[in-house]
Structure 1
């Protein structure tokens, strides 16, 4: 009996991300992905027709998690505690579900600009930032909110040549993000 379809899809996504990290998105072929999986190209095509389909599927999953987080944030009272919890939840999501994907986006910025999913991700991040400080907030608060979110992302890459874990990166990024959020002047959206 074969693997359930979802398991195969997840294996393809994981292997594709590995190869994209090793060789780059543009230099990785579907044939190489199939070979690493020990399947035929036809078997791979059953799940994904193109490399873009693989990336879109990965980002669709990430976008759904961001949508859930944004919906949660919109349903909460506009307090400092809510903003801090939003940042904590974003960090947890980023570092448990998406570090390889964020590394892909960072290392393939040109590709991300060309894919529609890149614009979708940008819109979700903007919505998240606006939950932390809306457009009526002082510009300094808006910038601190953006820095909090982007700081968590940057912490994934800043210490690449350090011998530290993703958890140490997460803790460092979260500490800085919390400082940014806590130093904002307003607590209401």
Structure 2
């Protein structure tokens, strides 16, 4: 019986943590990170500040936890990709999987895009940069021409830009996502072929 109760307590604690993250990200998006206080997050959640402190002591702790949770698929992708041969098929699969990870973490990446100055000052800025460099290094061929290196990096940024720029373009969201993905895969394909031809 003790095991079930422990499991229930753990699940409830996890649900509260998730609710805090969701509400905090919602408030950060609505009014900006700097203008959002822990008190406002607690009020929106209808909990005391002490209850919020049980899970997170600062806004940055909340943001870092959101980043770590939503970015876990990217970490797993980097680890998987490091084990794979540097083939065109692997690079295309990396781009596909990264596109899916971005979609799952869309609210966080929107926040990061709209709050770039804040993100640079916080720990998540450096964490994000490190993960992006990891993906870049996996996609790049060591001896690639500069133009092909630019294509690989541009493929990643195409996926990021597509999340934001394409919101203002008419059309079905899934069609737009597929179009952005197609362009990113095309860039990696060109870069890979260019590296093989040189």
TM-score (norm 1): 0.91
- Say which is worse superposed, 146-155 or 63-72, in terms of deviation: 63-72
Q: What residue is the counterpart of 1:172 in the other structure? A: 179
Q: Which residue of 1 aligns with 2:100?
A: 92
Aligned to 2:14: 6
CA shift, 1:34, in A, is 0.9
1:154-173 superposed matches below 5 A: 154-164=161-171, 166-173=173-180
8 Å Cα contact 1:156-1:169 kept in structure 2: no
Partner deviation per Cα, 1:35-89 (whole Å, 9 max, x = no partner): 1111111111111111111001111224432221111111111110000000000
Q: Distance in 2 between matches of 1:126 and 1:70?
A: 10
Matches within 5 A, 1:1-189: 4-96=12-104, 98-164=105-171, 166-184=173-191, 185-186=194-195
SS in structure 2 of the partner of residue 178 of structure 1: helix
Deviation at 1:167, TM superposition (A): 2.9
Give the CA RMSD over aligned residues.
1.8
User: How many residues were matched structurally?
Assistant: 186
Residue 156 of structure 2 contacts residue 184 of structure 2 at CA under 8 Å; is this kept in 1?
A: yes
Q: Unpaired segments of 5 or more residues in structure 2?
A: 1-7
C-alpha contact 2:143 2:195 (8 A) present in aligned 1: no
Q: C-alpha separation between the residues in 2 aligned to 1:128 and 1:17?
A: 25
Structure 2 vs 1, CA of residues 166 and 94 (structure 1 numbering), >3 Å: closer, same or farther? farther
Structure 1: stretches of 5+ with no match in the other structure = none
User: 115-124 or 156-165, which moves further after superposition?
Assistant: 156-165
Mapped to 2, the partners of 1:103 and 1:30 lie a distance apart of: 21
Q: Which TM-score applies when normalising by structure 2?
A: 0.87
> If you compute each CA radius of gyration, which structure gives the higher value, 1 or 2?
2
